[in-house]
């Protein structure tokens, strides 16, 4: 069984989670900006441009160091950019540079608001004051500086509100997705198939028209395509499904070598969906395995979101519903139905064979009784009796099996002499001259149902004569609080792996040529009856095949019944 799922609590997207992506984006923009300002400073020989270039390179170096150390702080990076812009414009003689620096300070301030927790009023006040201070620094105290400071402050406050609104909506949407993803009761994978899409496009360009046929003829190409799939995120239920402690163990490129052959059709279906332009596919995954090697079956649903009307293969969502129990139940039902069909065919044959004899001989006796001599008629009647007992035994086993399954079978608890019942059973089967029945020591009575004891013995003797080898012996002896009856024959031993299975319903250990197949119920019924009487039935081989019926003595049986 799979381990129980751990209780999890999905956490919303935190502000700290966006520092890293923003810093990397800023680094991509800062590098060309630093290079460009350096070229302009070299060309113009302007001190301000030189200061701006130095500030750009300093901000770039700061971003790289923070990323390397894993201590990303986008606010610090933006602050250094704003300060460098202000100083560069102050030192420069280029008027247009002050306009660009004002816009840059407004932008970095609005961007920094995204990283502020709470209402960030303090930051808004500080940055507004910074904007006024910068313009007073550039132009001195006057209406121009005040006017430009006021306009840039209004632009800053308006853009800050917009940036904050965008941030909150984006983070809320992302948090909801992560929340649903983590808490989903089914296993979910977020996978990147973008490289697979490029590979399939290349195959089409190379003239491939039938993808399934191509991959069937080129298994190495199939495995290569699988290796292009990148697992981005996995939820807890998926980790439980595959019996993995940490979901992160399942992320990264797929490993084709870990896929069993029976699971390959599911991957082919996903490739074909991309090939045909479909945005979803559902397929049953059969006979897969967990990381721990346990079998599993699942119903896989593969879905591609669309962006601007086009499929986004970088955000594929794969869900798998665990149907292992259902599949096992279905296979068990199929096997049960097959066993029942075999049982019906076997029982029909077993009953028809003796019934044919009974009907044929009875008709012959009825039509031509006077034509038979006394000894002949007696022999025919004996054969009719034997075949009738055979039919009665089969019917009785079927009735006991049905009552055991429904829980309505009852047995009588009374003292029984095992040796006498064994003798009576041999006489009833008319084989007392063929089977040696003896006791060892003094045999006390047992506690059970005499009729059911004879039914067990009859099944064991028929089984020994049908599948064993002569001579057949019956041995009765006492041991402790129990009395044991052994039915022994010289047949070959039953394989170790089948010695418990032979007591399963409808199971037949072996079929010998020329011998009618049994219904596979005799040993099952016999063990059920033995256990209902407080005993047991077991098989062993000690040079002979031995079925041992164990029943309690009256005092032990009464104690067990009382308990």
What's the pLDDT at 554?
Answer: 77
The answer to which of 31-40, 186-195, 222-231, 502-511 has the lowest mean pLDDT is 502-511
Determine contact, residues 457/541, Cβ cutoff 8 Å. Answer: no
Give mean pLDDT, residues 184-210.
88
What's the pLDDT at 289?
Answer: 67
The answer to which of 107-111, 444-448, 493-497 has the lowest mean pLDDT is 107-111
Split at pLDDT 50, 70, 90, the class of 13 is: very low
Which is it for the CA torsion 236, 239, 240, 246, positive or negative?
negative
Split at pLDDT 50, 70, 90, the class of 153 is: confident
Phi, psi of 246 (to 5 degrees): -115, 120
Domain 414-562: CATH architecture, name and number where available: 2-Layer Sandwich (3.30)
Split at pLDDT 50, 70, 90, the class of 8 is: very low
Distance of alpha carbon 485 from alpha carbon 161, whole angstroms:
93
What's the pLDDT at 345?
Answer: 65
Q: Write out pLDDT tens, residues 393-451.
A: 777 777 777 777 667 778 888 889 998 989 988 887 778 888 899 999 888 888 888 88
Split at pLDDT 50, 70, 90, the class of 473 is: very high
Count of positions (residues) in the chain: 563
Joined together, the tokens standing for residue 270 give: 């996903």
Determine contact, residues 138/89, Cβ cutoff 8 Å. Answer: yes
Looking at the domain covering 329-406, what would its CATH class be?
A: mainly alpha
Distance of alpha carbon 307 from alpha carbon 271, whole angstroms:
20
The answer to which of 93-97, 292-296, 317-321, 528-532 has the lowest mean pLDDT is 292-296
Distance of alpha carbon 502 from alpha carbon 42, whole angstroms:
95
What's the pLDDT at 342?
Answer: 64
Q: Where in the chain is the domain with CATH 1.10.287.130?
A: 329-406
Q: Cα 440 to chain center, whole Å?
A: 56
What's the pLDDT at 6?
Answer: 36
Distance of alpha carbon 197 from alpha carbon 235, whole angstroms:
24
Distance of alpha carbon 553 from alpha carbon 480, whole angstroms:
9
What's the pLDDT at 214?
Answer: 92
What's the pLDDT at 14?
Answer: 54
pLDDT at 283 over 70: yes
Distance of alpha carbon 117 from alpha carbon 15, whole angstroms:
8
Which residue matches tokens 């007392």?
Answer: 432
Q: Higher-confidence residue: 460 or 394?
A: 460
Which residue matches tokens 């006394």?
Answer: 374
Determine contact, residues 251/272, Cβ cutoff 8 Å. Answer: no
What's the pLDDT at 77?
Answer: 72
What's the pLDDT at 485?
Answer: 94
Determine contact, residues 302/316, Cβ cutoff 8 Å. Answer: yes
Q: Write out pLDDT tens, residues 386-408.
A: 677 767 777 777 777 777 766 77
CATH superfamily entry for domain 184-322: PAS domain (3.30.450.20)
Report the DSSP pairing between strands 446-448 and 482-489.
Answer: unpaired
What's the pLDDT at 550?
Answer: 93
Q: Write out pLDDT tens, residues 504-523.
A: 766 655 444 444 444 567 88
Distance of alpha carbon 281 from alpha carbon 492, whole angstroms:
55
Joined together, the tokens standing for residue 477 give: 């002896």
What's the pLDDT at 444?
Answer: 87
Q: Write out pLDDT tens, residues 53-86.
A: 777 777 778 778 777 777 777 777 777 777 777 7
If you ran DSSP here, which 8-state letter would residue 407 be given? T
Q: Write out pLDDT tens, residues 315-340.
A: 888 887 776 666 666 767 776 677 66
pLDDT at 252 over 60: yes
Query: What string of DSSP letters covers 79-90?
Result: HHHHHHHHHHHH
What's the pLDDT at 192?
Answer: 92
Distance of alpha carbon 100 from alpha carbon 80, whole angstroms:
16
The answer to which of 253-257, 273-277, 488-492 has the lowest mean pLDDT is 253-257
If you ran DSSP here, which 8-state letter would residue 3 be given? P
The CA-based diameter of the chain, rounded to the nearest angstrom, is 147
Q: Higher-confidence residue: 298 or 527?
A: 527
Split at pLDDT 50, 70, 90, the class of 488 is: very high
Report the DSSP pairing between strands 252-253 and 295-303.
Answer: unpaired
Q: Higher-confidence residue: 177 or 154?
A: 154
Q: Where in the chain is the domain with CATH 3.30.450.20?
A: 184-322
**In sequence order, what are the residues at sequence separation of 6 or more whose Cβ sits closer than 8 angstroms to the Cβ of residue 562?**
none
pLDDT at 563 over 50: no
Phi, psi of 13 (to 5 degrees): -65, 125
What's the pLDDT at 30?
Answer: 72
Distance of alpha carbon 135 from alpha carbon 102, whole angstroms:
8
Distance of alpha carbon 532 from alpha carbon 184, whole angstroms:
48
Residue 506: beta bridge partners? Answer: none
Which residue matches tokens 């069993």?
Answer: 260
Give mean pLDDT, residues 110-124.
74
Write the CA distances from 92 to 97, 100, 296, integer angstroms. 7, 12, 70
pTM for the whole structure: 0.44
Q: Where in the chain is the domain with CATH 3.30.565.10?
A: 414-562
Write the CA distances from 364 to 358, 359, 391, integer angstroms. 10, 8, 20
């Amino acid at each position: 069984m799979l381990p129980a799922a751990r209780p999890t609590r999905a956490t919303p997207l935190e502000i700290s989670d966006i520092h890293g992506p923003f810093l990397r984006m800023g680094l991509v923009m800062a590098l060309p900006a630093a290079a460009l300002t350096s070229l302009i400073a070299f060309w113009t020989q302007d001190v301000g441009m030189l200061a701006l270039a130095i500030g750009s390179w300093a901000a770039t170096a700061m971003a790289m160091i923070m990323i390397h150390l894993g201590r990303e702080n986008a606010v610090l990076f933006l602050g250094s950019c704003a300060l460098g812009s202000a100083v560069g414009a102050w030192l420069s003689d280029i008027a247009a540079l002050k306009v660009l620096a004002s816009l840059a300070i407004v932008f970095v301030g609005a961007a920094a608001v995204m990283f502020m927790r709470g209402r960030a009023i303090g930051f808004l006040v500080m940055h507004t004051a910074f904007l006024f201070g910068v313009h007073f620094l550039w132009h001195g105290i006057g209406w121009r500086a005040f006017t430009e400071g006021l306009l840039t402050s209004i632009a800053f406050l308006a853009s800050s509100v917009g940036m904050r609104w965008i941030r909150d909506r984006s983070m809320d949407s992302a948090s909801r997705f992560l929340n649903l993803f983590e808490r989903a009761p089914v296993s979910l994978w977020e996978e990147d198939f973008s490289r697979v899409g490029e590979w399939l496009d290349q195959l089409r360009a190379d003239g491939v028209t039938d993808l399934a046929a191509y991959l069937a003829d080129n298994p190495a190409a199939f495995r290569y395509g699988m290796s292009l799939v990148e697992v981005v995120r996995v939820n807890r239920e998926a980790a439980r499904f595959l019996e993995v402690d940490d979901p992160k163990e399942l992320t990264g490129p797929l490993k084709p070598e870990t896929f069993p052959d029976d699971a390959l059709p599911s991957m082919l279906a996903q490739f074909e969906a991309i090939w045909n332009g479909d945005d979803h596919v559902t397929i049953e995954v059969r006979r897969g395995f967990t990381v721990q090697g346990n079998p599993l079956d699942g119903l896989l649903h593969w879905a591609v979101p669309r962006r601007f009307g086009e499929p986004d293969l970088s955000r594929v969502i794969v869900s798998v519903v665990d149907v292992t129990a259902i599949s096992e139940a279905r296979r068990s039902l199929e096997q049960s139905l097959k066993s029942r069909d075999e049982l019906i065919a076997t029982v029909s044959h077993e009953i028809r064979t003796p019934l044919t004899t009974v009907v044929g001989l009875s008709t012959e006796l009825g039509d031509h009784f006077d034509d038979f001599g006394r000894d002949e008629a007696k022999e025919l009647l004996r054969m009719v009796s034997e075949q009738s007992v055979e039919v009665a035994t089969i019917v009785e086993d079927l009735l006991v099996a049905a009552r055991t399954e429904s829980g309505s079978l009852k047995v009588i608890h009374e003292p029984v002499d095992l040796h006498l019942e064994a003798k009576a059973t041999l006489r009833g089967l008319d084989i007392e001259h063929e089977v040696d029945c003896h006791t060892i020591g003094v045999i006390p009575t047992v506690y059970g149902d005499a009729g059911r004891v004879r039914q067990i013995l009859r099944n064991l003797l028929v089984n020994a004569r049908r599948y064993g080898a002569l001579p057949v012996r019956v041995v009765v002896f006492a041991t402790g609080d129990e009395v044991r009856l052994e039915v022994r024959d010289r047949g070959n031993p039953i394989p170790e792996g089948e010695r418990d299975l032979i007591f399963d319903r409808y199971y037949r250990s072996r079929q010998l040529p020329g011998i009618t197949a049994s219904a596979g119920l005799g040993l099952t019924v016999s063990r059920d009856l033995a256990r209902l009487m407080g005993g047991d039935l077991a098989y062993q081989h000690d040079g002979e095949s031995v079925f041992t019926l164990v029943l309690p003595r009256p005092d032990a049986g009464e104690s067990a019944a009382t308990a």
